[in-house]
Amino acid sequence: MFDLHIHSLLSDGALLPSEIARRYEEKGYKIIAITDHCDYSNIKNNTRAIVEFCKHWPKNSPIRILPGVELTHIPLEHFYPLTKLARRQGIKIIIGHGETPVEPVIAGTNRAALLSDIDILAHPGNITRDDAILAREKGVFLEITARRGHAQGNKHVAEIAREAKANLIINNDCHTPENIIGIAELKQAALDAGLSESEIENLYNIEKKFLEKL
């Protein structure tokens, strides 16, 4: 099982990356990504720190850690240059902080993020069909989230992704020890969004193939 949306104390999380890794390992996860919130104020320091951490993570560990970022509440024109900067720094997973229904995200953020070099559009709220089609064409995963509040958009995201044949991904958006849930609970978020067992199995297989390339 995988979780590619996690925050450490490098942004607004409560734990060190090593603490996150140990707790996720105990829950049975095989691959996670540390994806702290970034904008121009902190992206160089955060990417340097998390890439360094992942470089030194033991190769024989039961859990694999990927370096990531979540570009959050940024001006639309910042998406493209910041994704390029993150890639140059060695970041493997780039998340765009989508138009969640519970935060004042700039209108047009979903499309601006999709037009840049992101891997995941997080909690994209009332995403349009056109943007879901763009996600499919760009190979970007649309997120089903276990995080309360953001999860209000899950059913719409699942329905529009099914209609547009876009790929989905199930993530936790963890910030604290209490947020770290088991694999069954993470899967439940997808079931609650209206996905079937076979659809969930299929999206895991697609995600696995994506991760094998990293």
Please write the tens of the pLDDT for every residue from 69-99. Answer: 999 999 999 999 999 999 999 999 999 999 9
Could you give the CA distance from residue 193 to residue 160 in angstroms, rounded to a whole number? 12
H or E segment and range at residue 193: none
Tokens representing 128 are: 């349009």
- Per cent of the chain over pLDDT 90 is 100
pLDDT at 142: 98
CATH of domain 2-184+200-212: 3.20.20.140
Sequence-separated (6 or more) residues with CB below 8 Å from residue 185: 146
Task: Give yes or no for a contact between 124 and 99, defined as CB atoms under 8 angstroms apart.
Answer: yes
Please write the tens of the pLDDT for every residue from 147-167. Answer: 999 999 999 999 999 999 999
φ, ψ of residue 138 in degrees (nearest 5): -90, -5
∠ CA 110-116-118, rounded to 5°: 80
Specify the amino acid at residue 179.
Answer: N
**In the chain, where the domains are located:** 2-184+200-212
- Laid out side by side, the sheet with 64-71 consists of 2-6, 31-38, 64-71, 93-97, 120-122, 141-145, 168-171
